[in-house]
Amino acid sequence: MTQATSHSTQTACFEPRRLGHVNLWVDELQRGENFYSQVCGLKVEFTEPDLVATFLGTGHTPHDLGMMETTKGVNRYGRDGLLQLPGTIGLKPGLNHLAWELENEAELVAGWKRAKEQGRDIDMTVDHQVAHSVYMFDPDGNYNEFYCDTIKDWRSVLGGPMELLTSRWNPEGQEPFTEGRYDSDPILETVADAPVQPRRVTHAVLRTAQLDAMRCFYTDVGGLEVVYENEHVVYLRAGLANYDYSLILVRDAEASFSHGSFELASVQDLEQTLERLKARNITPVHDVNLPWKRAFFLRDPDGLLSEWYVTLAGDRVLDSNHSLPLWAQV
């Protein structure tokens, strides 16, 4: 295996704990919501009708998966006139953004300051009522949110249809808090009769034609640690060590969102899930059975892939034809 190498000694702007959620563009919001809740078991936590958005999860955070209906060229605004979703974006299904959770507001503000000092382009800073966020684009134009939770008991604020939540946030408006306001021992809830019963989203996979530039962004700006790389792929991990990686970058002819990955509880749970899917005449588009991972892939109504997996204890090996880890080829 190629050892991870350091490309920069500059302090990273942000130092996230983990991938907090993945947000998608979908053509028909209700259709997407039905799939991810009734099939994939993610519970609808709250909606924003004026934003044409739904937020689903298992209880770790306000959402593991967000969905917004494609803009169809029409601007959508948050509170206080904030242009939250310009009509020039979100014109087709795909990735809206990846969201990276930081420990607290002090770390978020420090990251924002470092980004400004380094001359990085910051798109906007916003208050989501239960989180403060800094938004930036990576070299491929993928949108990234760096955020901290501001209310530990977020269910006391969010639930059902909500009026517009998002407004402008001034990172220097007040002294930032230093305690973590996330739930370290959440009660997980899923859709009980759905065939898939996930634990949480753990990582995402992006394809890119500029692997080096993307690597630099996610290490120098995003603060992720390279845990493995070769000429075809880079595996990166956020601060928490309970998962091997948080993001995979795969070299390809053009940039695209490959998929988000959701953890299942056990091999037994995965096998029972496949039986329940079969009973509903739902066939995974791809199965993975490797010494270190069992997984299957589903395709949603908009054609977007998602992975549902369990990690095993076996050794990871390289593909003899491509010198590319088999885990990256799925």
Could you give the domains of the chain?
18-168 (3.10.180.10), 200-328 (3.10.180.10)
Query: With contact defined as beta carbons under 8 Å apart, do 152 and 183 qualify?
Result: yes
Question: pLDDT by residue (tens digit) across 65-116?
Answer: 999 999 999 999 999 899 999 999 999 999 999 999 999 999 999 999 999 9
Banded model confidence at residue 319, pLDDT cuts 50, 70, 90 = low
pLDDT at 321: 42
Q: What is the pLDDT of residue 7?
A: 54
Instruction: Note the pLDDT of residue 291.
Output: 87
pLDDT grade, residue 48 (50/70/90)?
A: very high
pLDDT at residue 1 in the model:
40
Residue 230 structure tokens = 């070769």
Look up the pTM and report it: 0.94
- CA 58-243-231 angle, 5° bins: 125
SS3 state at 30: helix
DSSP state of 52: T
